């Protein structure tokens, strides 16, 4: 038993480390893309391209329609039922739904850009980028359930940027500075090509991208998918509402001091990403077989590793502030105090476990969504009240407190609904 636990832990660490390296590669690819495009395009064109990528990346979060998580859950249950190759069948059944939903969002962005006066070719590129990024977001689930983490992350985070850099760099090498329309189409085409390549590697038929199966159009499936997608948007709102309140209700100068602390504190929370990408398919498989003991062990390991990573990153971010403070002209001693409060909240929250993943994999995504939406509403209301005092330290404390309360409520729901206690224990 002890040997099995150790082997599972070592496997967990290896897979998490691999995902962590891929995340690091994604950051480097993003920085390379920003550096290259900012040099090859005019300032105005680069601004338009940056806006386009930001719009479509956000839209893809909803355009993916929660299918990464739904694919993981469905494959786990079908494997228990003895279905043949469900990791191939399920993505082929549902990926067309992503294409339909992302096309709607892509068209909405394209229409907005058209009315805003952007060239038609930029609008077309927005549609392509939204569809491609959404499809790749969904296909991460198909790759993760088979432990193919490189195929899950590289196309969406690294490869399309490398292809776009090569295409734009080729034009620059020929002495032709691409205009924003050509650059946007090249980026959009790179994303679509990478999505098609990822689909082929996962044995997803290109024809499946055009039409979902009838099962994927069932009301219950659509409601579950939509609930996951809405909860993801609520999480995005939770991560930005404090900055918005500070800027709107206090002052732009206050936001300039607060924003670096908010972004830097997110570095500590990034520790959850590699663990979450690894742990969700384990939760799904263990829930499908009703192996509560194995799931409790997985929850213990995930929570404690998450806490250790958060604590390590938090110490580095806060302790190293004097060394990188110069990178942020608006940062000062107040920013450091704000950062310490936000990081402390993140570290404490990590002790409460990955309850959201447990609830979603157990089919209780509605509880996760409701809790997160209520937390976002409460955070907004409390932050508006706190803003009247004009004290940024109170703002940071309120925000950290609401997030801690959200995680605590999710932990209670996870224990009540699944019998799994996600809170960290002293032993693995």
Give domain limits for the chain.
Answer: 16-215, 219-418
Helices (H), 205-245: 219-245
Instruction: Return the pLDDT at 55.
Output: 80
How would you class 290 by CB atoms within 10 Å of its CB: exposed for 0-12, middle for 13-18, buried for 19 or more?
Answer: exposed
**How far out from the chain centre does Cα 115 lie?**
30
Q: Is the distance from CB of 386 to CB of 331 less than 8 angstroms?
A: no
DSSP at 423: S
Model pTM score: 0.82
Instruction: Compute the distance between CA of residue 71 and CA of residue 94 in angstroms, rounded to an integer.
Output: 8
Provide the pLDDT for residue 165: 93
Please report, in tens digits, the pLDDT of each residue of the chain (428 residues total): 556 566 666 776 777 777 778 877 887 888 788 888 888 888 888 888 888 887 888 788 778 888 888 899 888 888 888 887 888 889 999 999 999 999 999 999 999 989 988 899 999 999 999 999 999 999 998 998 888 888 988 998 899 999 999 999 988 888 777 788 899 999 999 999 999 999 999 999 999 988 888 877 788 888 888 888 888 778 777 777 887 788 878 887 788 788 788 878 877 776 667 777 778 888 888 888 888 888 888 888 888 888 888 898 889 989 998 888 887 777 788 889 999 999 999 999 988 888 888 898 888 989 998 999 999 899 999 999 998 888 999 999 999 999 999 999 999 999 999 888 887 554 44
Model pLDDT, residue 428: 44
pLDDT given at position 425: 55
pLDDT score, position 63:
80
Closest CA to 392 of 339, 315, 314: 339
């Amino acid at each position: 038993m002890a040997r099995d636990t150790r082997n599972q832990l070592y496997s967990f660490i290896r897979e998490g480390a691999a995902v962590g390296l891929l995340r690091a590669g994604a950051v480097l690819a993003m920085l390379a893309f920003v550096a290259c495009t900012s040099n090859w395009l005019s300032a105005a064109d680069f601004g338009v391209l940056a806006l386009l990528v930001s719009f479509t990346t956000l839209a893809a979060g909803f355009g993916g329609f929660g299918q990464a998580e739904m694919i993981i859950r469905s494959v786990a249950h079908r494997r228990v039922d003895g279905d043949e190759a469900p990791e191939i069948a399920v993505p082929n059944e549902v990926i067309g739904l992503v294409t339909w939903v992302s096309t709607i969002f892509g068209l909405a962005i394209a229409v907005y850009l058209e009315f805003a006066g952007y060239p038609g070719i930029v609008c077309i590129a927005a549609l392509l980028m939204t569809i491609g990024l959404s499809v790749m977001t969904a296909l991460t689930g198909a790759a993760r359930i088979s432990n193919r983490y490189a195929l899950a992350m590289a196309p969406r985070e690294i490869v399309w940027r490398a292809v776009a850099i090569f295409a734009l760099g080729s034009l620059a090498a020929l002495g032709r500075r691409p205009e924003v329309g050509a650059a946007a189409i090249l980026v959009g085409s790179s994303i679509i090509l990478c999505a098609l390549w990822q689909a082929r590697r996962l044995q997803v038929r290109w024809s499946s991208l055009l039409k979902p199966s009838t099962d994927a159009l069932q009301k219950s499936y659509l409601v579950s998918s939509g609930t996951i997608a809405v909860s993801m948007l609520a999480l995005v709102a939770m991560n930005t509402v404090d900055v918005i309140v500070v800027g709107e209700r206090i002052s732009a100068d206050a936001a300039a001091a607060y924003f670096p602390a908010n972004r830097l504190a997110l570095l500590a929370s990034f520790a959850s990403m590699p663990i979450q990408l690894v742990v969700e398919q384990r939760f799904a498989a263990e829930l499908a077989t009703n192996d509560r003991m194995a799931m409790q062990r997985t929850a213990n390991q995930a929570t404690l590793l998450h806490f250790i990573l958060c604590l390590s990153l938090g110490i580095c971010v806060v302790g190293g502030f004097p060394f990188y403070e110069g990178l942020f002209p608006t940062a000062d001693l107040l920013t450091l105090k704000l950062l310490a409060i936000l990081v402390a909240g993140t570290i404490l929250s990590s002790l409460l476990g990955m309850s959201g993943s447990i609830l979603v994999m157990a089919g209780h995504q509605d509880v996760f969504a409701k809790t997160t939406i209520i937390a976002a509403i409460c955070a907004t209301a409390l932050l508006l009240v706190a803003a009247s005092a004009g004290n940024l330290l109170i703002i940071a404390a309120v925000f950290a407190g609401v997030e801690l309360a959200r995680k605590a409520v999710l932990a209670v729901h996870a224990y009540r609904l699944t019998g799994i206690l996600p809170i960290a224990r002293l032993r693995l």
